[in-house]
Amino acid sequence: MKTRHPLLACVALAAGILAPQAGLTASPADAAIPALPPLKTQKTPEAVVAEHLDALNSCDWKRLMAQYPADAQFFAPLGQTIVGREKMAALFAQFVKPHDQGGLCGAKFTPEHTFVVGDTVSVQWVLTADYLAEPYRGSDAYITRGGLMAAIVTSFQSAQLKPKATAGAP
């Protein structure tokens, strides 16, 4: 079973668990994930998050994956969890694809409010893109460990993104 959203199917669960309400889909392309890059630690939790957001905004899969240890976890809405670096690689491979291929490349996450407690950085952000009719707001908790991204808890749901109307559309 495969669910496609009109705007995108931006996140993939390599385990094949589907959660259309959260914007999660499995993809045959998951099998074609490139070799994972070496890990690259950052000096502070804030630096880990800054690197993550900059890599997302740059659609740089290698930089994203250089942040995630083998036991990394991604907690999505509606109880979906992605566990492990390889499954995270599949998720972000979909995410950084060009918009016309179902990804979010071209979008920009901009922090609006940040709160740091120990090694956890909570961020309220706004997502903007030329292909969106309006900004989308959400929040993430980034749990860091040893200069890497150990886990993310996100409110992001691609089904809530509002695309601009296309020519000839009702």
Q: Tell me which DSSP letter residue 163 carries.
A: B
Helices (H), the chain: 45-57, 61-65, 85-95
Which residue in this structure is represented by tokens 């074609």? 32
Q: Which residues contact 100 (CB under 8 A, 6 or more apart)?
A: none
- The three-class DSSP label of residue 15 is coil
Q: CA angle, corner 49, sides to 161 and 114, nearest 5? A: 75
Q: What is the pLDDT of residue 168?
A: 60
Q: What is the pLDDT of residue 33?
A: 81
Neighbours of 168 (CB within 10 A): 5
Q: What is the pLDDT of residue 116?
A: 98
61's tokens: 């899969």
- Given a cut of 70, the residues of the chain with pLDDT beneath it are 1-31, 167-170
User: In the beta sheet, which residues pair with residue 82?
Assistant: 74
Is the model's pTM score more than 0.85?
A: no
Q: What is the pLDDT of residue 121?
A: 98
Q: What is the pLDDT of residue 169?
A: 57
CB 158 within 8 A of CB 23: yes
Distance CA 94, CA 10 (A): 5
What structural domains does the chain harbor? Answer: 11-28+42-160 (3.10.450.50)
